[in-house]
Amino acid sequence: MTDTSPPADASERAFFGRRKGKRLRGLQEQRLSDLLPRLRVDPPADGRPLDPATLFPGLARGPSEVWLEIGFGGGEHLAAQAAAHPEIGIIGAEPFVNGVAKLLRAVDERALRNVRIRDEDVSPLLAALPDASLARVYLLYPDPWPKRRQRKRRFVSDESLAEIARVLRPGGLFRFASDIDDYVGWTLVRTARCPHLRWTARTAADWTQPYPGWPGTRYEAKAIAAGRRPTYLEFARVAPG
């Protein structure tokens, strides 16, 4: 989960806080300067759509599908998914430099060829993606912005959900996990207003049990240790009528 301390000049709508935490060590700095530029994803400067399938030249046949993880924190989930699904291209968006450094270590040490990184605000990237271009979008343990005056900074909004639905292919999945009950309720209210997303749960176990193949994250472990129970929501993209 991205650090929630807002910088002095943050936009009211900015959904992330500090950009950098503890001082990085030598090898971390080296990966940021050498490896990150080779993996970085930026929207085209000329405003053209960005075909995500073209971002993974290391996959000889191209990715079988592309996933996006928004706010990957320390990258544990993303790296685990990339290792388990080498045929799938995964884009991770995370503005917190220390989190990016942790993911770069996993990419380097595990030779992951199917990872690309957006180390800035994800919103311009979402806007640049074509309709129905992604198979999954993850938003795991996002900053809760718990104070009432901060809630406008939560990533989940009617506008962001509309964008997520737009870039998901029919049947594609949006997965949201949080240990903050208020944010879970906030998300359910807003997804219920989104005509293009359908909550897939049929029983209580569907939102109290992790997703299949779930590797867990360090933040989740801390939340459970503190007595907070995570909730795992999944929504499917409704096919156009």
Segment 198-237, tens digit of pLDDT: 999 999 899 999 999 999 998 899 999 999 999 999 999 9
Output 26 or 172, whichever has higher pLDDT.
Answer: 172
Query: Model confidence at 21, in pLDDT bands (50, 70, 90)?
Result: low
- 133, 50 Cβ separation under 8 angstroms: no
Residue 90 has pLDDT above 50, yes or no: yes
Residue 4's pLDDT is: 37
Mean pLDDT (the chain, rounded): 90
Instruction: State both tokens at 111.
Output: 């030779």
108 is annotated as an active-site residue: no
Which region, left, alpha or beta, applies to residue 143 given φ > 0 means left and ψ of -120 to 50 means alpha?
A: beta
Tokens 């943050």: give the residue: 10
Residue 3's pLDDT is: 40
β-bridge mates for residue 175, sequence order: 138, 234
Instruction: Give CA–CA dist 30/36, Å, rounded.
Output: 9
Of 143, 179, 181, 206, which residue is the catalytic one? 143
Closest to 173 measured CA to CA, from 86, 88, 60, 55 = 88
Taking residues 27-51, what's their average pLDDT? 94
Tokens 């718990």: give the residue: 146
Residue 19's pLDDT is: 54
Query: Model confidence at 65, in pLDDT bands (50, 70, 90)?
Result: very high
Residue 16 has pLDDT above 70, yes or no: no
Q: DSSP secondary-structure letter at 149?
A: G
Give kind and range of the element (H or E) at residue 147: none
Closest to 99 measured CA to CA, from 73, 120, 77 = 73
